[in-house]
């Protein structure tokens, strides 16, 4: 049965001016996590929670020294993010990948947009990939267009959501891949999805390691497969290392 089958979202109406908790899942991210935490603090997050899945490097030490709350969980981005969400105190949850950095206006823009529009339940950010060249600007534009047209944000666009909505949706589905996409497919049934203007700085490492064309085709293949109803577990057999 599809993870989305029969799903209908309730109406959510009890909103207030939000505080924002930033949740960062990690696994061997000592080189990046300090900058991610610093960006969240500088943006005005009410708390930063790092959920580590057994790093063999200095990720935990770096996160602790950067003044983040450090939790531990089993490996898996969905599991880690759900653990962080359960511990978070903020009205809004923002899920930040360890190789991404928030703009200084990110939290204030979230608060402003959600406070102004009670029908808005969440969203994500425009990307700014940290590599030069027109081809990366095309990727950024394509990802922004996907959010505008389909309301599908990826994890590397820093998904944010009202916490009460997140809880009533049951959090991220425990999938081997594409937990972000399937979560967003449910979230958009609950209300408006925003693409915020504050740029999210994103590491170019995935595109550089795998090749820009290969990585982009990989992403769109997964999107198309999900749209056609192919199960995430089946896709995971073809993309076993898609983390």
- Reading the chain (243 residues) residue by residue, the pLDDT tens digits are 344 544 455 444 444 557 999 999 999 999 999 999 999 999 999 999 999 999 999 999 999 999 999 999 999 999 999 999 999 999 999 999 999 999 999 999 999 999 999 999 999 999 999 999 999 999 999 999 999 998 889 999 999 999 999 999 999 999 888 899 999 999 999 999 999 999 999 999 988 888 888 888 887 888 787 777 777 777 777 665 544
The two structure tokens encoding residue 103: 């703009």
pLDDT tens for 5-36 read 444 554 444 445 579 999 999 999 999 999 99
Give φ, ψ of 41 to 5 degrees: -65, -45
Taking domain 20-238, whether its CATH number is 2.50.20.10 is answered by: no
Question: pTM of whole model > 0.75?
Answer: yes
* Domain boundaries of the chain, sorted by first residue: 20-238
Count the neighbouring beta carbons within 10 Å of the beta carbon of residue 200: 23
CA-wise closest residue to 91 among 31, 153, 196, 166: 166
């Amino acid at each position: 049965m599809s993870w989305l089958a029969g799903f209908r979202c309730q109406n959510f109406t009890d909103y207030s001016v939000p505080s924002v908790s930033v949740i960062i899942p990690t696994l061997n991210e000592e080189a990046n996590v300090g900058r991610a935490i610093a960006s969240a603090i500088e943006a005005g997050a009410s708390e930063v929670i790092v959920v580590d899945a057994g790093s063999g490097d200095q990720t935990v030490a770096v996160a602790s020294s950067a003044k983040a709350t450090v939790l531990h969980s089993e490996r898996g981005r969905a599991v880690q993010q759900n653990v962080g969400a359960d511990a978070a105190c903020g009205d809004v949850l923002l899920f930040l990948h360890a190789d991404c950095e928030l703009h200084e206006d990110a939290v204030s823009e979230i608060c402003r947009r959600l406070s102004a529009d009670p029908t808005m339940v969440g969203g994500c950010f425009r990307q700014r990939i940290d590599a030069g060249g027109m081809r990366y600007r095309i990727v950024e534009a394509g990802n922004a267009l996907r959010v505008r047209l389909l309301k599908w944000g990826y994890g590397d666009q820093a998904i944010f959501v009202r916490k009460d909505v997140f809880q009533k949706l049951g959090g991220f589905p425990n999938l081997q891949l594409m937990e972000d996409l399937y979560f967003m497919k449910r979230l958009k049934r609950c209300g408006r999805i925003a693409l915020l203007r504050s740029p999210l700085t994103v590491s170019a490492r995935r595109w550089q390691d795998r090749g820009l064309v290969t990585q982009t085709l990989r992403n769109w293949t997964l999107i198309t497969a999900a749209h056609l109803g192919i199960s995430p577990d089946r896709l995971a057999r073809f993309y076993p290392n898609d983390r």
